[in-house]
């Protein structure tokens, strides 16, 4: 299984010819490592409706025919926008695909789509190729991260560290401790001036105080599990 960081909060997971995109905000993303016209997708998973997450979901889904998973209120908007293969769980729900599964878990944040649909933000637990990936979405630090880490053996946590709109790199150290993932990949930082932070300091702090290994990926870089 391979993880490619596409910039900001966007990731591409690939295994055995299957491509899963998470939060494909590429158009208008100053750190985008690929364009919406070139990425492949069998499935697109959306943590919440903010523009920097729902991003190019509709265009990529229409071009590729990818299945799209998002919380029910966003799912309804996607259907209305002409996306044909939509999966619409709510928090706590797990959806099975031919390639694996995706589950929505709580995240503390707010969310309205660019079109005005109010929705509850989420994190995603994705199982692909025998690995469990936890994308935290745009959450603040909260106590149930520990519960999520206890319930799921997380191989890789994709974790926001930029602050301002999400938890910052200091809160994220505590989040990493609570989740207990084998590996942590930071995201949602350095895209815009408000979320510039020191990823190397985050890496040092996590590795000095938890058992997790931190993998800092530049946009476009891959990590193989």
- Where does this chain bind Ni ion (CB under 5 A)? 50, 138
Q: Two tokens at 6? A: 């596409």
Among Mn ion, Ni ion, none, partner that 12 touches (CB below 5 to 8 angstroms by kind): none
Pairing type for strands 131-135 and 156-160 reads parallel
| Span interacting with Mn ion, options 12-20, 45-53, 68-76, 195-203, rule CB under 5 A | 45-53
* Structure tokens, 78: 């996607």
Q: Which of Mn ion, Ni ion, none has residue 168 at its interface (CB below 5 to 8 Å by kind)?
A: none
Torsion of CA 109, 113, 116, 122, to 10 degrees: -40
Given the complex with Ni ion, which of 100 and 137 has the nearer CB atom?
137
Let me know: does 177 contact 209? Beta carbons within 8 Å: yes
Shortest spacing between CB 80 and Ni ion, in angstroms = 21
DSSP state of 175: H
What SS3 class is residue 99? coil
- Among residues 70, 158, 83, 60, the alpha carbon closest in space to that of 113 is found at 70
Q: From the list Mn ion, Ni ion, none, which binds 23 (C-beta under 5 to 8 Å, kind-based)? A: none
52 lines the binding site for Mn ion (CB under 5 A): yes
Nearer to Ni ion, 138 or 205 (CB): 138
> Judged by CB under 5 A, which stretch of 47-55, 100-108, 147-155, 173-181 contacts Mn ion?
47-55
Q: Which residues are bridge partners to 157 per DSSP? A: 134, 184
Region 131-160 residues binding Mn ion, contact defined as CB under 5 A: 138
Residue 103 partner contact from Ni ion, Mn ion, none using kind-dependent CB cut-offs of 5 to 8 Å: none
Binding residues for Mn ion, per CB under 5 A?
52, 138
């Amino acid at each position: 299984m391979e993880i490619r960081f596409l910039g900001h909060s966007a990731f591409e997971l690939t295994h055995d010819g299957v491509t899963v995109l998470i939060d494909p905000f590429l158009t208008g993303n100053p750190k985008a490592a690929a364009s919406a016209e070139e990425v492949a997708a069998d499935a697109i998973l959306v943590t919440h409706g903010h523009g920097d997450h729902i991003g190019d979901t509709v265009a990529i889904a229409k071009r590729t025919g990818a299945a799209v998973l998002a919380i029910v209120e966003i799912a309804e908007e996607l259907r209305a926008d002409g996306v044909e293969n939509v999966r619409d769980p709510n928090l706590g729900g797990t959806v099975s695909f031919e390639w694996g599964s995706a589950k929505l878990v709580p995240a503390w944040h707010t969310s309205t789509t660019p079109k005005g649909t109010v929705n509850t933000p989420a994190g995603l637990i994705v199982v692909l190729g025998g690995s469990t990936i936890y994308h935290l979405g745009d959450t603040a630090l909260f106590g149930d991260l520990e519960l999520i880490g206890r319930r799921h053996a997380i191989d890789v946590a994709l974790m926001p560290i930029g602050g301002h709109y999400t938890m910052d790199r200091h809160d994220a150290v505590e989040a990493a401790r609570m989740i207990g993932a084998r590996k942590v990949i930071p995201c949602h930082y350095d895209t815009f001036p408000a979320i510039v932070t020191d990823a190397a300091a985050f890496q040092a702090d996590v590795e000095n105080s938890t058992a997790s290994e931190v993998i800092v990926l530049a946009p476009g870089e891959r990590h193989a599990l």
